Amino acid sequence: MAAAIIHSQKKFSMLFLQGVTYAHPNRDVLFSDINLTVNKQDKIALIGNNGAGKSTLLGILGGRLKPTSGTAGADSKPYFVPQLFGQYNALTIAEALGIHDKLLALREILEGHLTDINLELLDDDWGIEERCQEAFAHWQLHGISLSQPMAELSGGQKTKVFLAGIMIHEPDIVLLDEPSNHLDTAGRALLYDYIRSTGNTLVAVSHDRTLLNLLDTVCELSKRGITAYGGNYDFYTAQKAIENEALNLDVKAKEKALRKAKEVEREAMERQQKLDARGKKKQEKAGLPTIVQNAFRNSAERSTARMKGIHAEKVGGIAQELSHLRSELPAIDKMKLDFDNSSLHRGKILINAKQVNFTYDDRPLWPDNLDFQITSGERLAIKGANGSGKTTLIRMILGELQPVTGPETPAILERADFKSIYIDQDYSLINNALTVYEQAQQFNSGALQEHDIKIRLNRFLFTREYWDKPCANLSGGEKMRLMLCSLAISTQAPDMIILDEPTNNLDIQNIGILTAAINEYRGTLLVVSHDAHFLREIEVEKELILS
């Protein structure tokens, strides 16, 4: 069936998908036969593992992509807030927002050029300039001009530009693709307020659990299609826990059935062998001719083979069902770091900082010099708005930068001898030039054998087809899992792990994997993150807030 885009349906339905299938140009099917209806003022979370096709499905809902087959429709034109902005870097802000021609027409009219073309472009939108000013002020885009190139903005500012576009365009339908990824705490607060208060119809792809809990319905995209859960993310996780418990019970029941089938098979074959042996003795005792004995033997062998085939088919069927059930189980429990705790005693002072600051262009980075201590075993969050110097502070803690202060208040930064690992949001510990197996081997400090490394790779979902795959081709979630696997292979626990926005490029499954792994770790943890839910789950106990 040919793909179709329809622009209206029944009045109560704002968006719909019917029998939608999408295949890549190489004909690999991403998802198939997807059905979804979004009603007026629905607020829907679209979740799923990396690679499930969430952003693609959002693109189809917005009319930006065409399905391979099936129909997609919208009651009015959806407004789209993208996750990635590279395609807009060559444009001005006004061009990226699609309002450049309208603003130009307004200026032309105000200067006396009242042409039919200008009036058509303006479309009676005489208040567009005022809405732009109000929207930019609301989203804290101070000092930013509509004529400014998008390339000059930070990731957070680009996100705010497109969020401001909601107030400018005043759409009925808004599609959000990971809208909180680049936002600092203040930006996220504004986004959450918008989601709570808006009357827009919303569909959001996100891994931000605070945001997901503000939405009324969770739709999970998987290989089985779309499954809707009539509640927020906390409701979804409770339902998934019930489903996983039922799945575990099914696995145990199927394991028991497989053991029983194998036992029945063994007992049946033993009985048959005894009957065959008894029959052979009777034939020999009766002195039957060789040709008759051979006929009896051939008949017995055929009967045994038939019985063996019947039992093998039954055992094979149960084993296949068990394998399918096991593949549905969550993978988190398999992924353990299993390395020793830090050798440093809890409470040892690792960093002692007094009156530290840093300068850029001879201007201090922080209005007040910083005083702080980091002790062994504690969990500390470094917080601050975008541009507040969080990464600079981390580089000081790592010894890569030296603090600067004035002559009257000399800076002190005392650093104990400790082993640390810095994990940024791009997982730069992973060497893109290596294969997956070669990367794991780089951390093999305990002289593990090749098969031991491959067992550990399998545990972190890197099966045989991954071992020779270049690390450059891995997704963010795969790089994170390979990094955790590499740390597990090293067996030598770092005294300090520093995480810099570790959840930005992860789906919910991989955030769960990272959280479980970090909660096993007993050394010192420093975290830069705007994800309040993640910080709570890893039990951060102390904050250092940069102004």
**Helix extents (H) in 387-472:** 390-397, 436-442, 450-459
Predicted pLDDT of residue 404: 82
Residue 466 has pLDDT above 70, yes or no: yes
Residue 305 has pLDDT above 70, yes or no: no
Predicted pLDDT of residue 10: 40
* Band of pLDDT at residue 425, cut at 50, 70 and 90: confident
pLDDT digits (tens, 9 = 90+) for 478-525: 888 888 888 888 867 788 999 988 887 777 877 888 888 888 888 899
Give Dmax over CA atoms of the chain in angstroms: 123
Residue corresponding to tokens 């391979």: 68
Beta-strand runs (E) in 357-512: 359-360, 363-364, 370-375, 379-383, 412-415, 420-423, 496-500
Predicted pLDDT of residue 334: 53
Residue 218 has pLDDT above 80, yes or no: yes
* Band of pLDDT at residue 6, cut at 50, 70 and 90: very low
DSSP state, residue 92:
B
Angle at CA of residue 346, ends 345 and 352, nearest 5°: 100
* pTM confidence score: 0.70
Residue 290 has pLDDT above 80, yes or no: no
Q: Which of 5-9, 124-128, 447-451 has the highest mean pLDDT?
A: 124-128
Of residues 184, 180, 243, the one with CA closest to residue 214: 180
Predicted pLDDT of residue 306: 73
Which tokens hold the place of 426? 């791009």
Residue 93 has pLDDT above 50, yes or no: yes
Which of residues 340 and 46 earns the better pLDDT score?
A: 46
Q: In the β-sheet with 349-356, what is the strand arrangement from edge to edge?
A: 370-375, 349-356, 412-415
In terms of Cβ atoms closer than 10 Å to its own Cβ (0-12, 13-18, 19+), residue 28 is: exposed
What mean pLDDT value characterizes the chain? 84
DSSP state, residue 469:
S
| Cβ contacts of 4 within 8 Å, gap of 6 or more | 70, 71, 72
| Cβ contacts of 65 within 8 Å, gap of 6 or more | 22, 56, 59
Residue 9 has pLDDT above 50, yes or no: no
Task: Please give the share of the chain, as a percent, with pLDDT higher than 90.
Answer: 40
CB 350 within 8 A of CB 376: yes
- For the chain, the distance separating the N- and C-terminal CA atoms, rounded to the nearest angstrom, is 57
**Mean pLDDT value of segment 82-92:** 89
Exposure b/e, 474-488, CB count within 10 A at least 16 = b: bebbbbbbbbbbbbb
* Band of pLDDT at residue 1, cut at 50, 70 and 90: very low
**Mean pLDDT value of segment 452-459:** 87
Residue 174 has pLDDT above 70, yes or no: yes
Residue 402 has pLDDT above 50, yes or no: yes
Q: How large is the angle between the packed helices 185-197 and 155-169, nearest 10 degrees?
A: 20
Average the pLDDT over each of 172-186, 334-348, 515-529, 532-546 and give the range with the smallest value: 334-348
* Band of pLDDT at residue 530, cut at 50, 70 and 90: confident
CA separation for the pair 389, 178 (Å, rounded)? 24
Predicted pLDDT of residue 5: 42
Average the pLDDT over each of 188-192, 296-300, 371-375 and give the range with the smallest value: 296-300
pLDDT digits (tens, 9 = 90+) for 98-156: 999 999 999 999 988 889 998 999 889 999 999 999 999 999 999 899 999 999 888 88
Residue 329 has pLDDT above 60, yes or no: no
CB 462 within 8 A of CB 436: yes
CA separation for the pair 189, 303 (Å, rounded)? 74
Question: What string of DSSP letters covers 153-178?
Answer: S-HHHHHHHHHHHHHHH--SEEEEES
Of residues 483, 508, 507, the one with CA closest to residue 497: 483
Predicted pLDDT of residue 342: 63
Angle at CA of residue 434, ends 428 and 438, nearest 5°: 110
pLDDT digits (tens, 9 = 90+) for 70-81: 999 998 999 999
Average the pLDDT over each of 162-176, 253-267, 347-361, 448-462 and give the range with the smallest value: 253-267
